[in-house]
Structure 1
């Protein structure tokens, strides 16, 4: 504008009055130009405001003239290349130092972002929704803030657990209590357990059972144990008995048939005949009497009541020799067994 004014004045006639007039016009023009370039600007730095005067036309020029430096990560609004107008407001947000620990690294960053989440986005730091951030992502950034990102992941893990077999004991009264035998061997089974395992920075922090399935059922071991008592026979072997009774025994030798119609018998090496009270010992019961032998309860008698028995002998003299005795009677088998 000043150059145009000079060119114009050269074309004006150079008279003294003209010179005075031209000089006045130049001063007025220069003053007008300078005044039009002067601007008052309000600068806010992290919320603290100040007024500055500038003759520059851009934000960058105004800040430079007033010795206001801008760091590489500071935020300026409007941008430094924007044109200024009078009474413009310039907002400057200074970057702060933040320390970020993640993925086994420690980073020191400068950021002028408002929150932790904004800083992550600006710095290209990827944080999954399940990750843990301390402090939380909505916290405002402060100088020298320490931020920790804990990577959280999970997966399903399947383990196989051994199912121990059980040992089942079955009692057999037909076997002596000293007898024990395995009739079925046991076999362990398998069960699959599926867990949801949670890891933080690669370390397991929890696991929860989410499914289980038996893939092989265990087979129980079966052991048969004798529960019966045995009595030694006079011929050397032994026999299992079901019950022992204390009896009073007499003897008889008359009669070829029992009350039930069976033939009487005296067989020291086999089965002999005895008379019993059927209310105590059912007819047909097999017994053993020490000193007499094996016998079958096949006969009755009017005098044979309660715990009395009558033993059949092959002769009268044998019956007399037996007389009256207290004996132990061992029931070996009940009728039908």
Structure 2
């Protein structure tokens, strides 16, 4: 019985030892097991692990890291129950900055994170919202940074800060409208760069006209009703009008170029028409010779009784003759007071021009022996003698003609002076 009791105690002791080992093992198991919060790209989960380091936790969770991935805490850091392990995987994000495309590797979670990583200015324009998650991106992030530009319009320059992409967008933002002919220093599709100097030149095209005189000519016609060497104005000449048209280009209010586009005679000139005489002058009739009175025969004279001398009747007193008007010197050096006393070149010229009639007025616009026009008579001061040339004496007409000849010579009487060999 004692033997049986001994065996029972041995069996109980063995069971106690096994139970103690089990309890101690259970305590050790519970002490070694830890719960860790594992956060991957913002998504969190609890992981039970017996690992001692962050690397053990990741390995137990089958998480493999790429070269650019970030882990917090470090891989060799010890973990305890309740430790938070954060894994941010690297992402390749397409970004366009001021039209330049690039790929940015980031472990950020949102657009704001990548803007901070790139140190983008706060005034920049971004195509996507700053809180959008990078993991959900389907298009590149377009970023336009602010740029300082100088814009000159209508001669005035202003400085602007803009985030627009092109010159066309800049003009729209500045509310500048271009005319059809305006000039721009850059193409509308050109990119806006920092420091850009853009100039708009206002261009206006105008039409301008002016007129100028077209000189009239002179034509001659033969007139059988006029003596040779005589001429007569048939029709007065009149200048015409030419209209010139110009294209004028004005830039910013100043004339840039002027180009003649047309030249047209809008009023035709009227030629002066002069009749030239072709009629032959009649030959002068010979002057009649005085006939001598026949003398009384001597016999008759002797037969007549000699009359007694009678006293001559006393003559009545006669008035003193008026002095002849002083004549102007002629080309031949003499002086004239009447038509009868005119001699030399002037007499010959008067004979050719008017048939020697110093008082002629035929109504053709020319007057007197030297055929003055009224304008010529007035031009040399002939009106001091008479209102019209034919009303003045021959001497006065010659005095006026001398002034005319002093300015132009014998050419004032072209036909007759040539005929008489005066020029």
**TM-score in terms of structure 2 length:** 0.40
Relative to its length, the structure with more helix (as a share) is 2
Q: Which has the larger radius of gyration?
A: 2
| Structure with more strand by fraction | 1
- TM-score, length-scaled by structure 1: 0.48
